[in-house]
């Protein structure tokens, strides 16, 4: 697996386009993007709250420090997002700091990516949640109890992820949508992005600790829209 890239220096983003093994980092529908909220179009996109078939409390199995992010993996494959007749399985979530997507140029302290995968078409749906300092979201209460300090280190986790907060924000909050890519090599262009406008709260210690363990500024710069439309609802 290609893993020779970084967020800075000689193997930084400019180098990503030259990576072998089918890098799509130089493609035309890349992520992340800046979301110009004034240009977003009132959307008739498909994602609805009823499409989230999530368990109330889901066991987290494992956490890994992969040198690019801290990633928590789920035990069950029971959290399903049903979209356009396809079933996307919630696999993992991970962090970027500061955020990768920006809202009218504004970067949030943290962005959480809930990665859903559909094996038949090899495509992804990523739900992006911004986080800022505030009262700790129930969903992420366990974060500081299991942290892999060293690159390559992974740890068993025994904790429950409770999705009530993000799901209730989804009910009333604004959601942005566009078609893009993975934000890391190989930048595969098969990702439907859904970005929740309203940030979740995390304790300052949680944000600081995650930052400590990840590369500084583990975000990719905004990519050109190339005519893509961002919709909202
Ligand atoms: C993180 O971002 C990891 C990757 C993820 C990548 O570095 O969480 O996950 C694994 C399993 O390597 O790549 C295929 C994939 O999920 C890109 O994901 S992102 O576009 O949501 N940032
Ligand atoms: Zn990510």
From the CA of 66, the nearest ligand is: 1
Q: How far is the CA of 229 from the centre of ligand 2 (A)?
A: 21
Mean pLDDT estimate for the chain: 93
Is 45 buried (19+), middle (13-18) or exposed (0-12) by CB count in 10 A? Answer: middle
Does the CB atom of residue 47 touch ligand 1 within 6 A?
no
* 91-97 contact pairs (CB < 8 A, 24+): 91/115, 91/116, 91/117, 94/69, 94/70, 95/69, 95/70, 95/210, 95/214, 95/218, 96/69, 96/183, 96/214, 96/218, 96/219, 97/207, 97/210, 97/211, 97/214, 97/217, 97/218, 97/219
Atom of ligand 1 nearest to the CA of 92: 8
pLDDT tens-digit series, residues 8-64: 999 999 999 988 778 999 999 999 999 999 999 998 676 777 788 988 889 999 999
Q: Is the pLDDT of residue 2 over 80?
A: no
As for the ipTM of the complex, it is: 0.97
Query: Ligand 1, atom 18: nearest CA belongs to which residue?
Result: 182
Query: Does the active-site annotation cover 68?
Result: yes
Q: Cα-flanking dihedrals φ and ψ of residue 5, to 5°?
A: -100, 160
| Ligand 1 binding pocket includes 182 (Cβ within 6 Å) | yes
What does each C-alpha distance from 163 to 138, 139, 140, 188, 189 come to in angstroms? 8, 6, 9, 27, 27
- Per-residue pLDDT for 100 more than 50? yes
Say which of 53, 68, 96, 177 is annotated catalytic. Answer: 68
Cβ 71 under 6 angstroms from ligand 1: yes
Evaluate if residue 229 carries a pLDDT over 70: yes
Q: Which residue has the higher pLDDT, 192 or 50?
A: 192
Ligand 1 touching residue 184 (CB < 6 A): yes
What is d(CA 186, CA 44) in angstroms, rounded to the nearest whole number? 30
> Over 90: is that where the pLDDT of 103 sits?
yes
Q: Can you read off the two tokens belonging to residue 23?
A: 């890098």
Report the distance separating Cα 170 and Cα 177, nearest Å: 13
The pLDDT of residue 1 is above 60:
no
Tokens 């890519």 map to which residue? 181
Report the percentage of the chain scoring pLDDT > 90.
81
pLDDT at 4 over 80: yes
């Amino acid at each position: 697996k290609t893993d020779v890239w970084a967020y800075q220096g000689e193997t930084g983003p400019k180098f990503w386009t030259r990576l072998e093994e089918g890098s799509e980092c130089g493609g035309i529908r890349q992520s992340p993007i800046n979301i110009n909220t004034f240009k977003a179009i009132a959307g008739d996109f498909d994602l609805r709250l009823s499409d989230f078939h999530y368990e109330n409390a889901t066991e987290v199995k494992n956490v890994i420090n992969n040198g690019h992010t801290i990633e928590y993996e789920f035990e069950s494959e029971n959290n399903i997002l049903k979209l356009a007749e396809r079933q996307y399985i919630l696999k993992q979530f991970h962090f970027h700091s500061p955020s990768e997507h920006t809202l009218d140029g504004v970067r949030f302290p943290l962005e959480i990516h809930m990665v859903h995968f559909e094996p038949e078409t090899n495509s992804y749906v990523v739900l992006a949640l911004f986080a800022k300092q505030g009262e700790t979201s129930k969903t992420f209460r366990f974060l500081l109890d299991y942290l892999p300090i060293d690159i390559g280190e992974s740890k068993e986790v025994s904790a429950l992820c409770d999705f009530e907060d993000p799901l209730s924000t989804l009910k009333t909050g604004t959601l942005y949508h566009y078609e893009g890519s993975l934000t890391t090599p190989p930048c595969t262009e098969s990702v439907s992005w859904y970005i929740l406008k309203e940030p979740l709260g995390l304790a300052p210690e949680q944000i600081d600790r995650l930052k400590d363990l990840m590369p500084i500024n583990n975000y990719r710069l905004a990519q050109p829209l190339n005519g893509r439309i961002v919709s909202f609802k």
